[in-house]
A and B are shown apart, each in its own frame.
Chain A
Amino acid sequence: MSQDKLESNENIKQPDSNYWRSFNELYNDPVFIENSKHEFYNGVTDGFSPNELSGLSRRKFLALLGASAALAGAGCADYRDKGEIIPYNQKPEEVTLGKPTYYASTCTGCSLSCGILIKTREGRPIKIDGNPDHPVNQGKICAKGQANILNLYDPERLSTPLRRNNLGYFDNISWEIADKEILNKLNQAGDKEIAIITNQITSPSGLKIIEEFKSKFSKVNVYTYDLFNNSIKDSAWAKSYGSGKFPLIQWDAAKVVLSLEGDFLGVDGNKIENARLFSQGRDIDAIEKFNRLYVVEGNMSLTGMNADYRMRLRPDAQYEFVMCLINELSKRGISSSIITSQYSLQDFAKRFSLPGKFLNHLVNDLIANRGKAIVYSGSTLPENVHIAVNYLNEILGNTSLYRKDSTIQQAMDLSLTDYLKNLISSLDDGKVAAVIHYDSNPAYHLPSDLNYRKALSKAGVVITLTVSENESSAISDYVLPIHHNFESWGDAKTRSGFYSLLQPVISPITDTRQKEGILLSWTGIAGSYDETLYHKYLLNNWEKNIYPGLNSKMSFQQFWNSALHDGIVLVDEKVNISTEFISSSLNELKPVNKYSDYVLVLKESFALGDGRFANNGFMQELPHPVSKVTWDNYAAISEQTSKELNVKNNDLIEVKSGNNKLNIPVFIQPGCADRMIEIELGYGREKAGVVGSSVGFNANSFIKSQFSVSPWIIEGVSVTKAGGTYNLVSTQEHHAFDIERVQDLHKKRHIIQEGTLETYKKNPKFIQDNRKHELESVYKPFPYDGVKWGMAIDMNKCIGCGECIVACNVENNVPIVGKDQVEKGREMHWLRVDRYYSGTINEPSVSTQIMLCQQCDQAPCENVCPVVATNHSPDGLNQMVYNRCVGTRYCSNNCPYKVRRFNYFNFRDHFRDGYQEQPLLALLNNPEVTVRSRGVMEKCTFCLQRISDARSDAIRENRPLKGSDVTTACQDSCSTNAIKFGDINDLESDFSKFRNHELGYYVLEELNVKPNVTYLARLRNTHSEEA
């Protein structure tokens, strides 16, 4: 192929700047237009008919009113008896009443083991944030980590050991009986196997205990698995470079990133670290270092939403795409590979109708940025793709972007599939005396073709150690409740260069035990179980085996206390990454076979992970970052595929692969490749508690141990319309404006303002040129002399992940409302991430925007409140006085941003029959924030409780309050630091730089409400001819 441009394959209109959120909006669906004219959705006021009012006379009404008022007054005497408050007799030294205490620990929500800082009040954990001292996540934690606090206070946590009786039900038993009976059975194992099945082991001390257990009983085998893992990628790396695991990437140093089905900003790898590093290349104050992101993927992902250039391609074609790229590079003299001579990028582009312009730019950029670019392949892709990508990076010299200072470490490698198959055959042969599910759920996770549940019935005894009931505990003989993460001691090593420590911030709430302590007590080497058993073992292990190697000058006790204080222990470790590419690995690259008709892709859920957060209401209610669907998963398909199948949104389709089939509702996703179905896993659980059971659809049965492409990409599926519908609830059409649908609607209203990097370089003030408004006001401006709070949101860094939403929910006691209420537009999130599409349906450009209360200086909500329940503070905040509010909802009606939330119910009573009223769950509430009841309006307060706290600190310390003294919950949680908060009046501050930036604009500025949230326009790093 010549160096001339590839033929353009576009047969599509050029993208225009019309923004749309859903197909209904794009096609001017009459139902959508009608709904947008109304404040509330259809069905909300159903059942109300003035003609059917009772014929009660006025006199009788007043009589009843008087009587009920008298009774209500009588009832107030015992209102909300919260019990007695008793002050400390001997106050612990570290506790100051009314001030939080922080503890460093480690999150075990997944195997990444990020460092966390747990905020406690009077001994009660209330908020999780990242540990600023942790080298990997550096003060940030993902949405699941934020929501993990709810798992601690889950009312359905197991509280006592259980034993299955003859009728198949579970009886409560004591720990003594459980220990005695289980130990008896383990001792009788003889030469039969005792199998321990666990998720990825990250704890060195935990691994040591398993080794002790192995030495006590004659035949113990340990099987480790993770539903989503890097095993294929690591295996490809070992073949390409001889040894080791796939290295970490310097995302901050990459000028060009090509991501192939790799959602590195979403679920692939350490999302927090990846997002932080990647966003350092989107700094508007260092535009010469701006990176460019190309994404080639099957379905729109979080990473795809943030791409400068995105192309849809089904994942089973990625291998051929990479080979074509290598061939194209060799034609341009970059390499002399003959392995790819039969591949042609031009032919490939024709077959798959790929945009020629995109491919031209991509190839040119990869060549121009050799050594400064990275090609990244997602973990779900097959091995041949990873080997080809390793080779591609090798020939481009991109291996310099692999990190040499740190590498991933695992205490124990994941078990190979063959090893798991050995377990199944041993079970089938009756050679397994005991199976211990060690805080794992293999009955839900393991590949369906292994028939694990059936084989398990032949085990001598099945013991599950778990925090809450799950599918594995439901088929066990003994279920032993274990401590939650925040009640546990432990350590973790996931990277070279440091250890991470876990410490319990709360004594066990119920009668649970530490899982390592349980195993240790069964070995008998440290005596019977007590609360200090594992703690002593951990201390002993560190003192004998780890501390001597650190050459610390402190005594061990001092060292241990400071290690717990910091949460991490840094160690000197040399990292060896092999850099010699093994050419023989290219022998694995075979010609591609014909593609099947439909391909099914199984993806990790952004909200639920592998399903372990299914019972967490915060995560179920978090809108999906792309589709904005809550409380369900779905089959994402393209519009073209939906036409072929003759289905529309919510219609059920049957997806069939071999003997497995699933009926699942459809969601038509812009940007999805044709003939591809993507389903997120982690849903459809049967035993996940009241919140999580029967939510969504279980697609785990499609995972097989034998696969042609990869465990998560299944070819040869058949897809047919199943008939029937299922209601998917999405928030993407909520809060749409009641205005005529015209082209360039959102551009005309300047809600989203974007540009390209080239435009910004030519005219840095191009955003300010749009801001010439004639703004007149009847009000005299109020002189804000002291601190005036404001926020700036950098849309270049915001990736639209929604972590801020979960952080805000936890901080501000935002209730969970459930699917039926979200359907009526009553979700209570104070913060939302609006997602707009522009361009074409097949290759849309995505824009996101965080929307929260703008704290307007001339707030239209304040003027219309009949009881002055909402007013303005001298420091610029729009305040809500909950106990004045009578619920007219006029303020919400008047709010142009639609950021006010009304409590139609006491959601703590309403959701799942008072689920949120349970005593344990009440402990989750932040005591610094009012818990709102029915009939009051609420909205973002700019974390007023944190402002008040900082103000009282400043007064006590006799110093002025500074803007930098306060960070909001959303700001703390944002892994890319997109949210800035501070004092508008402090012109010397860092915040002021963003507030007054030339890219700054206000949403709906022409209304002259004077919002105090500045948005920094997003710059797309496209080529100059497209600027």
Chain B
Amino acid sequence: MELQNSKKIIDQKFSRKKILKTIGIGSISFFALKIFPLNYLLTGKNNINSSIKIKSNPLAVSRNKKGSNNVAR
């Protein structure tokens, strides 16, 4: 009786179909996110590799150290 009840409970709680469905959707989503256009939508916003180019001015004269200590003693 107990075994029958347990089987019933297990059947109710664990549906093989549901498990496989979840894994299937998960796998498809996993691969879908890797391909265009979804990968662009997710990473494009955080992509800071934009058209801004930084270039120092070659005519400016630098110094390696600050000079005399900024903080007076």
Q: Which residues of A contact B (CB under 8 A)?
A: 59, 63, 67, 70-71, 74-75, 77-78, 80-84, 92, 94-96, 99, 101-104, 117, 120, 122-124, 129-133, 138-140, 487, 503-507, 509, 535, 561, 564-565, 914, 917, 919-920, 922-923, 964, 967, 971-972, 977, 990
Chain B residues with Cβ under 8 A from A82's Cβ? 48-49
Are B61 and A80 in contact, with the CB atoms below 8 A?
no
- Given A509-B54, A919-B52, list of 18 further CB < 8 A pairs? A74-B33, A78-B42, A92-B56, A94-B62, A102-B64, A132-B68, A133-B67, A139-B71, A503-B59, A505-B57, A509-B53, A535-B59, A564-B61, A565-B63, A917-B45, A920-B52, A922-B48, A967-B71
Chain B residues with Cβ under 8 A from A507's Cβ? 54-57
B19 → chain A, closest Cβ, in Å? Answer: 9
Interface residue? B30 (CB, 8 A): yes
Are A63 and B52 in contact, with the CB atoms below 8 A?
no
Kindly state the separation between the CA atoms of A559 and B39 in the bound complex, as whole angstroms: 56
Best-buried of B49, B67, B71, B72 by chain A (most CB within 10 Å): B71
Are A78 and B61 in contact, with the CB atoms below 8 A?
no
Are A564 and B60 in contact, with the CB atoms below 8 A?
yes
Interface residue? B13 (CB, 8 A): yes
B58 → chain A, closest Cβ, in Å? Answer: 8
Are B29 and A71 in contact, with the CB atoms below 8 A?
yes
A486 → chain B, closest Cβ, in Å? Answer: 10
Chain B residues with Cβ under 8 A from A80's Cβ? 46
Are B61 and A120 in contact, with the CB atoms below 8 A?
no
Interface residue? B17 (CB, 8 A): no
Kindly state the separation between the CA atoms of A103 and B58 in the bound complex, as whole angstroms: 12
Are B63 and A102 in contact, with the CB atoms below 8 A?
yes
Interface set, chain B 16-73, CB cutoff 8 A to A: 22, 26, 29-30, 33-34, 39, 42-43, 45-50, 52-73
Chain B residues with Cβ under 8 A from A922's Cβ? 48
Kindly state the separation between the CA atoms of A78 and B45 in the bound complex, as whole angstroms: 12
Chain B residues with Cβ under 8 A from A133's Cβ? 67-68
Are B66 and A67 in contact, with the CB atoms below 8 A?
no
Are B26 and A70 in contact, with the CB atoms below 8 A?
yes
Are A78 and B70 in contact, with the CB atoms below 8 A?
no
Which 3 A-B pairs give the minimum distances between C-beta atoms?
A: A83-B49, A123-B56, A564-B61
Kindly state the separation between the CA atoms of A67 and B30 in the bound complex, as whole angstroms: 10
Chain A residues with Cβ under 8 A from B69's Cβ? 132, 139, 964, 967
Kindly state the separation between the CA atoms of A509 and B66 in the bound complex, as whole angstroms: 25
Chain A residues with Cβ under 8 A from B53's Cβ? 509
B40 → chain A, closest Cβ, in Å? Answer: 10
Kindly state the separation between the CA atoms of A227 and B65 in the bound complex, as whole angstroms: 37
Which of B58, B65, B73 sits near A990, CB closer than 8 Å? Answer: B73
Chain A residues with Cβ under 8 A from B45's Cβ? 914, 917
Are B54 and A923 in contact, with the CB atoms below 8 A?
yes
Best-buried of B43, B55, B70 by chain A (most CB within 10 Å): B70
Are B26 and A503 in contact, with the CB atoms below 8 A?
no
Are B62 and A83 in contact, with the CB atoms below 8 A?
no
Kindly state the separation between the CA atoms of A131 and B70 in the bound complex, as whole angstroms: 8
Are A81 and B54 in contact, with the CB atoms below 8 A?
no
Are A919 and B50 in contact, with the CB atoms below 8 A?
yes
The contact sample of 12 A-B pairs, CB cut-off 8 A, is A71-B26, A78-B43, A83-B49, A122-B54, A133-B67, A133-B68, A504-B60, A505-B56, A506-B57, A509-B53, A509-B54, A922-B48
Nearest-CB residue, chain B, relative to A967? B71
B46 → chain A, closest Cβ, in Å? Answer: 6
B68 → chain A, closest Cβ, in Å? Answer: 5
Are A506 and B68 in contact, with the CB atoms below 8 A?
no
Kindly state the separation between the CA atoms of A503 and B62 in the bound complex, as whole angstroms: 10
Nearest-CB residue, chain A, relative to B13? A59
Nearest-CB residue, chain A, relative to B49? A83
A101 in contact with B64 given A83-B49, A535-B59 (CB within 8 Å): yes
Chain A residues with Cβ under 8 A from B34's Cβ? 74, 77
Nearest-CB residue, chain B, relative to A974? B71
Nearest-CB residue, chain A, relative to B60? A503
Which of A63, A95, A96, A139 sits near B70, CB closer than 8 Å? Answer: A139
Chain A residues with Cβ under 8 A from B52's Cβ? 509, 919-920, 923
Chain B residues with Cβ under 8 A from A564's Cβ? 60-61
B22 → chain A, closest Cβ, in Å? Answer: 6
Are A67 and B60 in contact, with the CB atoms below 8 A?
no
Are A67 and B70 in contact, with the CB atoms below 8 A?
no
Best-buried of B29, B63, B65 by chain A (most CB within 10 Å): B63
Kindly state the separation between the CA atoms of A235 and B56 in the bound complex, as whole angstroms: 44
Chain B residues with Cβ under 8 A from A139's Cβ? 68-72
Chain A residues with Cβ under 8 A from B13's Cβ? 59
Nearest-CB residue, chain A, relative to B27? A70
Are B48 and A129 in contact, with the CB atoms below 8 A?
no
Which of A71, A83, A95 sits near B30, CB closer than 8 Å? Answer: A71
Kindly state the separation between the CA atoms of A327 and B46 in the bound complex, as whole angstroms: 71
Are A506 and B67 in contact, with the CB atoms below 8 A?
no
Chain B residues with Cβ under 8 A from A504's Cβ? 57, 59-60
B48 → chain A, closest Cβ, in Å? Answer: 5
Kindly state the separation between the CA atoms of A972 and B68 in the bound complex, as whole angstroms: 12
Chain B residues with Cβ under 8 A from A506's Cβ? 54-57
Kindly state the separation between the CA atoms of A99 and B62 in the bound complex, as whole angstroms: 13
Are B22 and A120 in contact, with the CB atoms below 8 A?
no
Are A124 and B60 in contact, with the CB atoms below 8 A?
no
Chain A residues with Cβ under 8 A from B43's Cβ? 78, 81
Are A132 and B66 in contact, with the CB atoms below 8 A?
yes
Are A81 and B70 in contact, with the CB atoms below 8 A?
no
Are A120 and B56 in contact, with the CB atoms below 8 A?
yes
Kindly state the separation between the CA atoms of A656 and B58 in the bound complex, as whole angstroms: 55
Are A103 and B61 in contact, with the CB atoms below 8 A?
yes
Chain A residues with Cβ under 8 A from B66's Cβ? 102, 117, 129, 132
Which of A84, A99, A104 sits near B63, CB closer than 8 Å? Answer: A104
Chain A residues with Cβ under 8 A from B46's Cβ? 80-81, 917
Chain A residues with Cβ under 8 A from B65's Cβ? 102
Which of B22, B63, B71, B73 sits near A67, CB closer than 8 Å? Answer: B22
A146 → chain B, closest Cβ, in Å? Answer: 13
Are B71 and A971 in contact, with the CB atoms below 8 A?
yes
Kindly state the separation between the CA atoms of A70 and B29 in the bound complex, as whole angstroms: 10
Chain B residues with Cβ under 8 A from A59's Cβ? 13
A442 → chain B, closest Cβ, in Å? Answer: 31
Chain B residues with Cβ under 8 A from A964's Cβ? 69
Kindly state the separation between the CA atoms of A760 and B26 in the bound complex, as whole angstroms: 74
Chain A residues with Cβ under 8 A from B70's Cβ? 129-130, 132, 139-140, 967, 972
Chain A residues with Cβ under 8 A from B63's Cβ? 101-104, 565
Best-buried of B29, B62, B67 by chain A (most CB within 10 Å): B62
Are B68 and A83 in contact, with the CB atoms below 8 A?
no
Which of B30, B49, B57 sits near A70, CB closer than 8 Å? Answer: B30
A204 → chain B, closest Cβ, in Å? Answer: 20
Nearest-CB residue, chain B, relative to A565? B61
Kindly state the separation between the CA atoms of A123 and B46 in the bound complex, as whole angstroms: 23
Kindly state the separation between the CA atoms of A74 and B29 in the bound complex, as whole angstroms: 10
Best-buried of B22, B61, B69 by chain A (most CB within 10 Å): B61
A1008 → chain B, closest Cβ, in Å? Answer: 31
B32 → chain A, closest Cβ, in Å? Answer: 10
Nearest-CB residue, chain A, relative to B56? A123
Chain A residues with Cβ under 8 A from B71's Cβ? 139, 967, 971-972, 977
Nearest-CB residue, chain A, relative to B50? A919
Kindly state the separation between the CA atoms of A84 and B49 in the bound complex, as whole angstroms: 8
Chain A residues with Cβ under 8 A from B73's Cβ? 990
A81 in contact with B56 given A102-B64, A133-B67 (CB within 8 Å): no
B49 → chain A, closest Cβ, in Å? Answer: 3
Nearest-CB residue, chain B, relative to A101? B62
B39 → chain A, closest Cβ, in Å? Answer: 7
Kindly state the separation between the CA atoms of A132 and B66 in the bound complex, as whole angstroms: 8
Chain B residues with Cβ under 8 A from A95's Cβ? 56
Are B54 and A74 in contact, with the CB atoms below 8 A?
no
Kindly state the separation between the CA atoms of A71 and B28 in the bound complex, as whole angstroms: 11
B12 → chain A, closest Cβ, in Å? Answer: 11
Chain A residues with Cβ under 8 A from B57's Cβ? 487, 503-507
A61 → chain B, closest Cβ, in Å? Answer: 14
